Amino acid sequence: MFILTITTIFGLSGIYSYFDNGDVFLLSSQVPLVIWTGFFLVILAIIVYFKAEKTCNYPRALIGCGISANGYDDISEYQYNDVNWVIQAPRVPRWYSESEYYRDLPDRILVKTPPKCSKCKTELEQKKSLLYGYFLKCPDCGFSKWNSHHYYEDAERVKKIAKRDIEQEVKTILEGVNH
């Protein structure tokens, strides 16, 4: 891919300079910087696009495939303290081996916040209670719940539960990989 890119850039700049001044080799300095930059960005975008498509080569028991802007995929959902929590895992970096990825996975999961409404799956809004604690409210269906603590505390607890489950799954997967 890299060689193709370089060839394309030099090929096209050669054609450009041929029409520009009739000499294929009188090029780089004659090509305005803005064109070079534009070219570079287009090529970069193409490379990123193709790389992103190939990031998911591993068994999909844990990892859903798909491209997310921040490089994380939703892998599971838990109900805890009457609301729903989405667990996310980083996408598989190309330079990771399969066993490396799974070994690190339990420590790299994230719990998405805010939590979601358990009835209609809308993201909940949190407001401070007048006296003490917080209200979690659904902006759509009217679901409402009072908590003594901020939802971040629950998110930490959910993370521990999810981590335990993923450690179990990873153990099974790694046994399969090593056989």
Which residues contact Zn ion (rule: CB under 5 A)? 117, 119-120, 122, 138, 140-141, 143
Q: Where are the alpha helices (DSSP H) in 30-97?
A: 33-53
Measured from the CB atom, the residue of 119 and 164 that comes closer to Zn ion is 119
Q: What is the DSSP string of 18-32?
A: HHHHS-TTS-GGGS-
Measured from the CB atom, the residue of 137 and 163 that comes closer to Zn ion is 137
- Residue of 107, 58, 64, 103 whose CA lies nearest to 86: 64
Closest approach of Zn ion to the CB of residue 44, in Å: 42
Closest approach of Zn ion to the CB of residue 85, in Å: 15
For the chain, the farthest-separated pair of C-alpha atoms sits apart, in whole angstroms, at: 80
Closest approach of Zn ion to the CB of residue 33, in Å: 53
Closest approach of Zn ion to the CB of residue 153, in Å: 22
Which residues partner with 90 through β-bridges? 72
Cα distance between residue 8 and residue 10, in whole Å? 6
To which H or E segment does residue 86 belong? strand 83-90
Measured from the CB atom, the residue of 51 and 119 that comes closer to Zn ion is 119
C-alpha 88 chain-centroid distance = 8
Measured from the CB atom, the residue of 16 and 143 that comes closer to Zn ion is 143
Cα distance between residue 92 and residue 95, in whole Å? 8
Measured from the CB atom, the residue of 105 and 117 that comes closer to Zn ion is 117
Cα distance between residue 158 and residue 115, in whole Å? 11
Closest approach of Zn ion to the CB of residue 124, in Å: 8
Measured from the CB atom, the residue of 18 and 134 that comes closer to Zn ion is 134
Closest approach of Zn ion to the CB of residue 11, in Å: 56
